[in-house]
Amino acid sequence: QSQQRHNLYIEYIDKYNKMAVDQMKVYKIPASITLAQGLLESGAGQSILARKHHNHFGIKCGGNWKGRTARHDDDLPDECFRVYHSPKESYEDHSLFLRGRDRYALLFQLEITDYRGWAYGLKKAGYATAPKYAIQLIDIIENYELYKYDHKEKGASSKNIKKQSDVHQTYLSNDLVYIIVCDGDTFENIGKEFNISKKKLIKYNDLHKEYILTNGDIIYLHKKRKKAQKPYSVHAIEASESMHTISQRYGIRLKQLYKMNHKNIDYVPEGGIVLKLR
């Protein structure tokens, strides 16, 4: 059932969809993702950062930013954000921001129409801290049919455009194949789809047999590795992260993550602590 649509969102999409498509043609970032991020990060263009400083994507200053800046409360008080001369400059910098960082490199191996893969990939790569960030992007894309703009790249006819829902998209991390759990998924239906037993799926992912899958869970289809892939050598723990979520993020066996950091199984991670991944 379609969610209620907001006029501010519709107006934002009408105003900026061409800009998002133009960025997609040059930088190969799905227009649906660019629009959804712009809508979410800027509150459909109504945030102070967007209205006063043309920052539509919540991009912070970073060490290499030489342009104007503005201070704004976000995850922490009085954080530094980039200031632009126009929304177009913000959209261009968003594309360059994603293109120029190694942590987003795997996203560009996805199909331009794989908005779900992009949404979960952005969250996994650390673009935002909100736990439901990927789901929020997907909800916006599907509610406002933003996926139709991704087909501008190939000139596909609108009658052939459909949402992705029938089978699981597969992804790679640490050279291992994984999927993202959707609403209603069980170990049984995932096992049937990929011809893997429930017992193996539970073992591969360091879970217990009573575990109930949750939307957004990462499930590996192979046994995880003993250490992370280069260049991921350490990880700074964020608030609410567990050893298990970190092990899933990098495709590392949970037991090995404890072992290489000299922690016992009762250890509760604390924000700011740095863990070894290799």
CATH number, domain with residue 21: 1.10.530.10
Instruction: Kindly state the tokens that stand for 60.
Output: 């912070």
More confident residue, 128 or 175: 128
Confidence of residue 174 (pLDDT cuts 50, 70, 90): confident
Would the pTM of this model clear 0.75, i.e. be above it? no
Average pLDDT over residues 57-82: 86
In a domain, 151, yes or no: yes
User: Which tens digits make up the pLDDT trace of 185-204?
Assistant: 999 988 887 778 999 999 99
Is residue 115 domain-shared with residue 243, that is, in the same domain? no
* Cα–Cα distance for residue pair 97/185, rounded to 1 Å: 34
Contacts (Cβ under 8 Å, ≥6 apart) of 37? 57, 94, 122, 137
Spatial CA neighbour of 174 closest among 235, 97, 242: 235
Total domains present in the chain: 3
Q: Do both 33 and 153 map to the same domain? A: yes
Q: Are residues 259 and 137 in the same domain?
A: no
Q: Are residues 137 and 93 in the same domain?
A: yes
Rounded distance, CA 249 to CA 216, Å? 12
- 148, 12: one domain: yes
Which residue, of 126, 160, 194, is where some domain finishes?
A: 160
Q: What CATH number is attached to the domain comprising 202?
A: 3.10.350.10
| Domain annotation covers residue 254 | yes
In a domain, 54, yes or no: no
Rounded to whole angstroms, the Cα distance separating 141 from 272 reads 33
Q: Quote the mean pLDDT of the chain.
A: 86
pLDDT at 248 over 80: yes
* Per-residue pLDDT tens digits for 193-241: 777 899 999 999 999 989 999 888 899 988 899 998 878 899 988 877 8
Residue 108, domain extent? 7-47+87-160
User: Quick one: 146 and 113 in the same domain?
Assistant: yes
